[in-house]
Structure 1
Amino acid sequence: MLKVEVIPGRGIRNHFIEILLGMPINQAIIALHNASKHIQNVELTYSSQEPLTRDIIIRLVKDGIRFYFEPNSQLLRLIEIYDFSHIFLQYGGVVFSGPDDEADVNKVEKCFGATHPGVYVAEQNLYELSWKGLSFTFPTVSETSKFQASPVGSSGLGSLHYKRNSPPVLSKMTIYRGSHTLVRNPQISGTSLCGTVASVEVKAITDKKRIVGLFFTFVAEVPVVDESSPKQSFGPKKIERSIHFGDTTESVLSALGTPSKIFYTKADRMLIHRGEDSKKLRGPRPNYFFNYLSLGVDLLFDCITNRVQKFILHTNFPGHFDFGMCRESFLAAFCGDTSVQPVVLTRSGTDNPFGSTFCYGTDQVIVEVMDNGFIASVIIF
């Protein structure tokens, strides 16, 4: 059974996994995949028709945990534990809930301290105890418990009185940032940013109505001066870099750093449309990509010149073949060309359960669109 430490306002962790508020969804998916020996039966739910207005939810079915990701930033905003029959919870080294000894009001108050009154939700017969970044919900039964309201107006504050041998049992625990669960604009956590970067925006660089490169804005951790501490401190800083067509690998590495992966292409199946010229284009060395997963962008380099040929930007929408492989890229570009009829992109059914997508081509841009009308990727060449 899963055993985790509760970190109010931050997340949960144990010796093989750490899930923190502000974590990008692709990092969370990778962390769960790496912990598949201990965590099985993971579900992901999302709205295919309203992917930017409804949370993306990852549910650990067996362990009774839900992770809520804000759909635009795809950052973890809330953790909810709703089933306590298969999980151990501890705080400060003390286990306060287990499968055979689930938490109740007494155990929660003893572990976390009763520092202020709880809140009673009369419509649902629920009693809530909360601290900064953490709340507990208990169902109440009129036969065994009674709520005594605070004399301060209709604040809903007060205390819960119940029979000594039947304290209300915990039904839900929520971890969040700030003082309430409705925070909709999470910030990326410092732990998630450590050793990587977070994309803010990507803009097209144009010259005489032609796209000649991309301008990247991202956040990275850099050393900061902290005279009060002898240790080296780091803090987030917004950085701007530009990459142009024809830039060398050295220029790209200097601007964006080491890529997450390097991928070498296989034989281009579209060369058949070049006729006899295709023989001249085939060579012993393949072209290759620099995959910057935290920026949501791939850069294609020519194998002969080692210069940038193409940019591929990913939106990381759920319901697409590449979902979860990288962070989303925030692209701003204007395409003045009139779109032609789309080309259907079909991947092998055994590899892709999401069906075909549609590619619309302009002079310099190919836009891949999912069947719900949302953009999956943008190719600039």
Structure 2
Amino acid sequence: MQFSQAVCIIQSQVAVMKKVQVIYNESDPLASDLILSLTMDGIRLLFDSVTQRLKVIEIFTMNLVKLKYCGLVFNSTDVIPTIDQIDHSFGATHPGIYDPDRRIFTLNFRGLSFTFPVEQASEPRYVRGLGSLQFTNGASPVASKMFIFNGNNLTDSKAPPLPLSCFNGHPYLGMAEVIRQNGLTSGVKLSIICEGAVFFNI
């Protein structure tokens, strides 16, 4: 999804989608992600600053949304997204990562991450699922955030390739690069995408 497309959708739903913030780096717009924050819905949409395509969906207020996976609700007003619930819904195969400095436990799947604030956790010992993890208060921590992204790692996530259904026979500009030599512009390099193929023109 393009940033402009997301803005058009939000504008068409202005009666129900309110208090939307646009966050960007004013001093260097291309250095940081372009963010649409739907504050009343607890959702942030992170767009690549260069391509302006959606690369991460962050749900930062879990109790404002109802979420399902394969028809099974794992987050709602009636279903609390504890580690046990996430394990039951997604079938985690590894114990995740605990950051003792931030006191955050992160559970990662391909294209999906959950963060759980915890007071203190023991060293992860994976035996038979997440139940092998022991938390000092005996309770199962509750997810505070969820991230949806393309790839294996949230840190290295990039916008997915455009699906062929989006082209409709039209070419798209993937990237425009200004070529400069000795402080002067000598040309422009365009990356044109058409039906999945990439062509470069100078």
TM range (shorter): 0.7 to 0.9
CA distance in 2, matches of 1:192, 1:121: 41
- Provide the secondary structure at the position in 2 that maps to 1:148: coil
- Provide the secondary structure at the position in 2 that maps to 1:149: coil
CA distance in 2, matches of 1:108, 1:191: 33
- Provide the secondary structure at the position in 2 that maps to 1:28: helix
Distance 1:94 1:163, change over 3 A: farther
Q: How far apart are 1:164 and its partner, in Å?
A: 9.1
Q: Unaligned 5+ residue runs, structure 1? A: 1-22, 152-157, 205-213, 222-235, 242-331, 333-381
Aligned to 2:174: 200
Aligned to 2:9: 31
CA distance in 2, matches of 1:180, 1:159: 24
* Percent identity between the two aligned chains: 29
Q: How many residues align?
A: 188
- Provide the secondary structure at the position in 1 that maps to 2:123: strand
CA distance in 1, matches of 2:164, 2:42: 25
Residue type of the alignment partner of 2:140: P
- Provide the secondary structure at the position in 2 that maps to 1:29: helix
Of the three residues 170, 192, 201, the one matched with 1:218 is: 192
CA distance in 2, matches of 1:36, 1:159: 46
Aligned to 1:180: 153
Higher strand share: 1
Cα distance per residue 1:305-334 (max 9 Å; x no partner)? xxxxxxxxxxxxxxxxxxxxxxxxxxx7xx
Aligned to 2:139: 166
Residue type of the alignment partner of 2:172: A
The two structures have a TM-score, normalised by structure 2, of 0.79
Larger radius of gyration: 1
Report the aligned-residue RMSD: 3.1
CA distance in 1, matches of 2:163, 2:45: 19
CA distance in 1, matches of 2:97, 2:12: 39
Cα distance per residue 1:151-208 (max 9 Å; x no partner)? 9xxxxxx95324797311111111111111122643443167343532035699xxxx
Aligned structure 1 segments of 4 or more residues deviating by more than 6 angstroms? none
Distance 1:127 1:185, change over 3 A: closer
Q: Say which structure, 1 or 2, has more relative contact order (CA 8 Å, 6+ apart).
A: 2
Aligned to 2:95: 117
Of the three residues 48, 67, 71, the one matched with 2:49 is: 71
